Amino acid sequence: MKNTLIAVAVIALFCPALASAADAPASISLAPSLIATSSAPGNAYLFGRSIIVTAPTMGDLSALGWSVVSAGKTYGDVFLMGGSVSSRAPALGDLRAVGGSVRVEQDVAGDLVALGYHVDAPAHVGASSLIAGLNVSLTGGASGPVTIYGNNVLLSGTFTDTVNVVATGVVTLDTNTVMRGKFTYESPDMARIPETARLTGGVERHNSSYLPDVGTSRALAFASIVIFLLVRVVGAIILAGLLAGLFPSLAERVVERASKRPVRTFFVTALLGFAILVATPILCVLLALTFVGLGLAVLIGILYLLLVVLAVLYAGILVGTLILRRIFDRDGVRWHDGVVGMLLVSLIALVPGIGALIAGVLTAFTAGTLFVIAYRFAFPHDELAEEVL
């Protein structure tokens, strides 16, 4: 009972012709392996893993399975769907086939719609054709318009109407090809058209290049730079907000050194930070020249990168805290101080010349401040350093 309900649901989805075939008896078959050897007087609906139809079908034929072979003449429309689909008998109506491998060997009186990884149609199509696949061959000709989408496309036979091909690979015409309608194709390479082929309707090629032109390249480069800057700014804003919210005491000490100390202290700390930012890479290079100092150079380099990142983030926290304190007249450091300040510093850094200078001074100051805090933590009783710093 459950299998019957599933079959009815699939039929209602893929085979709407069942509703209009009330005057003809319809047969429904569902089994792992089906071989239809007796003629169907009306519509036939077959479902199974392996399906072979050898007898004629007076109505429509619909088959859904893993391997589907239609070897009996069909007087109505044909719908085949499976991993491997083959139509080996004439279809007097339309033929629609979907599968990994699709082969249409006998003529189709109506429309042909085929979709698959590999589509091979040596049959003649009496009406329009729509084919899409990785490798497509239509070698029996067609009386109606033809539209093909694929990678490599092979055409042969007589085509009385227009032929449109969109290919990412090679378009090839056989030696006996006759096209009375206009042949239009889009491909990165010229179609292979032999001298014996007769194209009386004309040929039109649309060049399909997958390399962008100069204008597109500039637009893509500009868009990439904008996206990179946005991602960098957003990431810095998030990290600054997290540092301000998770470690407010450290941020408070950085802000206090900038706001409650003399101006001379600000510039001395900025000079200290600038010296650290410039001298540390030189020191790492000198240490790396010796085998003994290579490990120490790697350790100092890691600490240097950490200091640079923290200095940039705390520069934003410093600016945001000072501005929001002035506006809202409050104490303490909040997470949104880091968000607002990092956004402002990022915008200031975009200003040519003066903007980069201001951001550099702020970063040097916070780098010097972080170094002073770390030094006092490591050497809490160094009175000489306390006087200097």
Per-residue pLDDT of 134-168, as tens digits, reads 999 999 999 999 999 999 999 999 999 999 999 98
Q: What is the pLDDT of residues 13-55, one digit of tens each?
A: 344 444 434 445 788 888 888 888 888 888 999 998 899 999 9
Where are the domains positioned within the chain? 2-207, 214-388
> How many angstroms separate the CA atoms of 27 and 18, rounded?
10
Is 10's pLDDT higher than 80?
A: no
Q: Cβ(324)–Cβ(343) under 8 Å? A: no
pLDDT confidence bin for 90, thresholds 50/70/90? very high
3-class DSSP string for 120-178: EECCCECCCEEEEEEEEEECCCECCCEEEEEEEEEECCEECCCEEEEECCCEEECCCCE
> How many angstroms separate the CA atoms of 89 and 115, rounded?
19
On the 0-12 / 13-18 / 19+ scale of CB atoms within 10 A, 214 is exposed
Is 217's pLDDT higher than 90?
A: no
pLDDT confidence bin for 208, thresholds 50/70/90? low
Helix (H) / strand (E) element for 65: namely strand 61-70
User: How confident is the model at residue 67, as a pLDDT?
Assistant: 93
Task: Report pTM.
Answer: 0.52
What lies within 8 Å, CB to CB, of 155 at 6+ separation is 137, 138, 139, 148, 163, 165, 171, 172, 173, 174, 177
User: How confident is the model at residue 365, as a pLDDT?
Assistant: 92
